[in-house]
Each structure stands twice: as structure tokens, then as C-alpha cells.
Structure 1
Amino acid sequence: MRIPYAPTEPADPTPDTQAIYDRIRERRKPRPLIPLDLALLHNPQIADGYNALLGAIRTKSTFPLALAELAICYIAVLNSATYEWTAHAPIALKAGASREALQAVLDGRVKDEAAFSEDERLVLEFTEQSTKSIKVGDDVFERLKRRFNDQQVMELTITVGGYNMVSRFLVALDVTESNGKSMEMPS
């Protein structure tokens, strides 16, 4: 990492800071704090806000998890965020994304219609426009609104925006020293 990781215990163990560490540990349970946490914990209040937002995106959304994880994996590919890919590709498969679709995302074959369902193509098109151009075309947005309810459209939008933030943070600080390493399909 380009700066040292924060300590696994608060440097200033005030009740507020200790509570933040405890909340993050609870979210990661049964795993210990991960390198991303230790990068964020240089500022416990920011780490706490991040933990709350990303925790809600991951566990409180009604948007189909396989589609959300496919979008997150595509963001990782678009932004060269190897650590994000490594963390989320297995989750995508477990959530129901097909190996064929995930491999096509990894290979940059997102225009390969045979590899994706109609919903997957739509989510990937939205993800690419939102990630690369920021502005999403009206046609794509209208198709999203016809397919998903307003809450789910918002949830996909915050998922794509949130994980773009994550990938940019991971790459800029080279969390886990993953920059430049190849992305590989999980076994």
C-alpha cells in the first residue's frame, strides 16, 4: 500500500473510536478486519460512514444480487481494480451469475450477446456508461425503468456509484498491493 495500514486496534481508544472498530468487526465477522478497513481506519469516522453505506448497499438492497455483483465485477475490470475483482467475483458466482457471463466480463466481451441475459446486458450497459461517461443515456435509463421498479433503479445506481468510489480508493492507495496483478476467474 502506498501509505501504512492503520493499526488493528484504535490508536486513540476513546469509546467512540472503539465503537467504530467494533461495528466494522461485526460487519466482517467471522473474518478479521481486512486491508480495505485498515486503509480507511486512518480516519475512523470516514471508515464508519463507509462501513454503513457499503454495508447497506450489500445487504439491504432489493436489486438482484447476481446482477449487482456482475456490475461490481465490471467496475473492477473497467477501473483495473484487481482487489475488487478478487473479492467480488466469487460472490457473483455464489449469487448466481454464470461463469460464462463473468468470464465474458473479465475478457471485456460485454457486447457478446450470447454470454448474457437481457437483464445482464442492460445492467452492464448502465454500468459502463455510468463508470466511463458518468452520464447515462436516456434510452438506457428508460429501459431500466421499464424493467425494474424505482427503488431498484436507485439501488443499482448507488451500487455502481459506490463501487466506483471503492475501486478508485483501492487503486489510488494500492490496497493489498494488487495494482498491476492479473485478474483471474475464481476456481
Structure 2
Amino acid sequence: MSTSQPASVKRFPQITLDTLPDKDAKALAQEILDISSIGLAGPYNVMLRSPIFARRIKDLLDYLRFNTSLPKHLNEFAILIQGRLWSSQVEWHAHYPIALKAGLRSSIADDLKANIRPRDMHEDEAIVYDVCMDLSTKHKISDDLFDRAKAILGEQRLVDLVAVSGTYMTVAALLSLGNELPPAGAPLPFPDSV
């Protein structure tokens, strides 16, 4: 099967600075443009349909991406886990290179992409995987997993892990709602999912 993008129709026309309704929305869009590798595309194209929501989630994303207590490679691993669970083309496209640059081993990310429990994870990576997977698939974690996660990550990092996982679940849902894809010409990470 080809990994090229299908002729897919975005559900929302691409937003631009000129099409935003007011100066606050335009200011927020400019903030996004200053940090985003995909401009106003992807989740921002959907989020900006609700400017107050977009402002609040962007502020949360700023914390979760740039100021979280989690080491960056673990934070990005949690994002990739949601990207894989949702087969989110944009999430994986955007965060895979960031995760590798942050120090996540490609073998871990590649196993995850193949829907295999990553092999040879370090203890902290295994805890991130188990917490994210259990919360996403079972909608709870056991007392044993909680105790291990708290011992390995500490309380703040465990809370931040759940926050990043849940927030990127929301991002994946927004991407799905908008039928958003990576930039034109970029290969699809999950070609069988379109």
C-alpha cells in the first residue's frame, strides 16, 4: 500500500490570520505561528474555531511541552503513545522527530508504531507506557501500577504524565474531527488508517 496521502478533504477550511474574527484570535494565532512546525494547520486549524478554548488549551500545551516536570523524552513518548493509539497522522508526524531529538531511542518509537509493546525499555519508559496504556485502554490504573509509578516518577511527574497523555488524547480527537493530515507531500505514518 502506498504511503502517499490520499485525496482527503479537510472538514474545516484552513484558517489564516486574515480569516480570524478578532484581534485576540489573531494574536493567539501569531503566538502559535511563532512555535508551531505546522503553522496554523493540524490541531490549531480546528482549535481556533473556538478561540477561548484555543487560548486555554494552548496555554496548557505550552506547559506540557516546554515546562513539564517530566524529562522531555518521556513527555514525547507519552505523546507518541496517544498518537499511536489514535493512529493520528499529524501527531506522529510532528512528534516523532521531536521525541528522537529529545533522546527517545528509535527502537522504542518504532516498536510503538508497529503496535508492539516496546522492547528493552528503561524502567521509567516502561512506567510511562504502562500508565498511558492502562489509562487509555482500561480507564484506570491498578494500585500496584500507581505505587510503582509514584516510586519511579514521583507525584508531580505522575500527575504531569496523566495531564500530557489526556491532553494529547484531546489533540488527537481534534485532529480526527477535522480530518487533518500532515503537510502535503509528507508520508503518512499510518497509511492503513486512512
Relative to the length of structure 2, the TM-score reads 0.82
Q: In the alignment, does 2:31 pair up with 1:26?
A: no
The change in CA–CA distance for 1:182 and 1:91 in structure 2 (over 3 A counts) is closer
- Deviation (angstroms), 1:176: 2.2
- Deviation (angstroms), 1:46: 1.6
Which has the larger share of helix? 1
Paired with 1:173 and 1:26, the residues of 2 have a C-alpha distance of 22
Counterpart position of 2:4: none
The change in CA–CA distance for 1:111 and 1:98 in structure 2 (over 3 A counts) is closer
Counterpart position of 1:163: 168
Q: In the alignment, does 2:47 pair up with 1:40?
A: yes
- Deviation (angstroms), 1:138: 1.5
CA RMSD of superposed structures (Å): 2.2
Counterpart position of 2:130: 125
- Deviation (angstroms), 1:106: 1.0
Which 5+ residue runs of structure 1 have no aligned equivalent? none
Once the two structures are superposed, residues 39-58 of structure 1 have per-residue CA deviations (whole angstroms, 9 ceiling, x without a partner) of 21112212111211111110
Secondary structure of residue in 2 paired with 1:175: coil
Counterpart position of 1:9: 18
The change in CA–CA distance for 1:55 and 1:120 in structure 2 (over 3 A counts) is same
Q: Which structure carries more relative contact order (alpha carbon 8 Å, separation 6+)?
A: 2
Percent of paired sites with the same residue: 26
Paired with 2:182 and 2:41, the residues of 1 have a C-alpha distance of 13
- Deviation (angstroms), 1:26: 3.4
Taking the TM superposition and a 5 Å limit, the aligned residue runs for 1:13-92 are: 13=22, 15-28=23-36, 32-92=39-99
Which 5+ residue runs of structure 2 have no aligned equivalent? 1-9
Taking the TM superposition and a 5 Å limit, the aligned residue runs for 1:144-155 are: 144-155=149-160
- Deviation (angstroms), 1:159: 0.7
User: Would you say the 8 A contact 1:144–1:153 is kept in 2?
Assistant: yes
Q: Number of residue pairs matched?
A: 178
- Deviation (angstroms), 1:111: 5.8
Once the two structures are superposed, residues 60-101 of structure 1 have per-residue CA deviations (whole angstroms, 9 ceiling, x without a partner) of 112111111112111111111121111111111000001111
Secondary structure of residue in 2 paired with 1:176: coil
- Deviation (angstroms), 1:10: 4.5
- Deviation (angstroms), 1:109: 1.7
